[in-house]
Amino acid sequence: MNRRDVLTRMAVLAGGGIAAGCVGVTRDSRAPVDMLRPGTWAVHRPMLDARQEIGVVALRDRMIVIGGFGELGAAVPAVEAYHPATDAWERLAPLPAAVHHPAAAVVDGRLFVVGGYAGRVPPWNAQNTVYEYDVARNSWATRAPLLIARGGHAAATVGGRIHVVGGAHGDALSEHEAYDPAADRWTRLASMPFARDHLAAVAFQGRLWAIGGRSSFLGDQYAHVDIYDASTNHWHTGPPLPEGRGGLAAAVFEDRIFVFGGESPLRIFSATEMYEAAGNRWIAKEPMPTPRHGIGAAVLDGRIWIPGGGTRPGLARTPANEAYRP
């Protein structure tokens, strides 16, 4: 993040996103609209704490929400679990250290939280920490650190390993590394074609998909979709998003990829978009009830859950908890 971006970001943060006429303007999707099967949204019990720039995963029958920005932009160690069956939240053991912009992934029922930022005011301090959650003991243990400290990155599990891509440590990163839980070891792999942070990642059709992102807060906003094949250690280009943005969430539901929300400078997205493999294209679905960025997604109980996030640039955190049924 360069000096101009830092100063602008601080001004937006200080104003809570109330400045410069277009702040808070919402944009839906530029993709063709699915009028026949748009899907439906439902509002559920809000989180215990309003947060954005969080880690989100599905673990067994619960959604876990990890870290993020708390009050006045401070990093928090809070961890909450949501039970769809009872529409109830519970607090879990907090992280060993507070972080925002972490990534989280599950491998064979084991939850790992990777990297993130410490600090209240940008430029933040990128972390290389890796924590594993013990469900039975409700506790955290430290694992082998990332090779490159980073925050605002993305993670997905492919072939029993956690792949971590992008993020930033000062400048945006293209570096890609994978974690083997059995060996507690990280390995450097082929870098993404484009450096970016605030991207999303999913495992789809046996490959890693890196979706969207940006060069910096006021920099280029990418529609790039890059696909990594572990068998060849090679990236190739996928179908771009209808519009470039960062801070979005992504999830795989059955044989489809869905992306949600996001932001570009001084603009928040309400978009719900689906990648249709048969047509190799993105299609617009029913927009999110609450436009947000700094979010994650979890698939549980036949729905895609989107908790927390920011409702405008800056510190407009929300406890919203909404579920999309495709």
- pLDDT tens digits for 249-287? 999 999 999 999 999 988 999 999 999 999 999 999 999
> What is residue 313's predicted lDDT score, i.e. its pLDDT?
80
Structural domain that includes position 69:
3-325
Within the chain, which residues score under 50 in pLDDT? 1-23
> What is residue 81's predicted lDDT score, i.e. its pLDDT?
98
Average of per-residue pLDDT values in the chain: 92
CATH number at residue 164: 2.120.10.80
- pLDDT tens digits for 232-242? 999 999 999 99
For 302, the token pair is: 């036949």
* Pairing between β-strand 25-27 and β-strand 267-269 as defined by DSSP bridges: parallel
> What is residue 6's predicted lDDT score, i.e. its pLDDT?
42
> What is residue 24's predicted lDDT score, i.e. its pLDDT?
55
Rounded Cα–Cα distance for residues 184 and 136 (Å): 20
Contacts by 117-123, CB closer than 8 A, 24 or more apart: 117/75, 117/151, 117/152, 118/75, 119/75, 120/72, 120/73, 120/74, 120/75, 121/10, 121/13, 121/73, 122/1, 122/5, 122/6, 122/9, 122/10, 123/1, 123/6, 123/170
The number of distinct structural domains making up the chain is: 1
| CA proximity to 174, closest of 202, 144, 229, 215 | 215
- pLDDT tens digits for 132-174? 999 999 999 999 999 999 999 999 999 999 999 999 999 999 9
> What is residue 123's predicted lDDT score, i.e. its pLDDT?
81
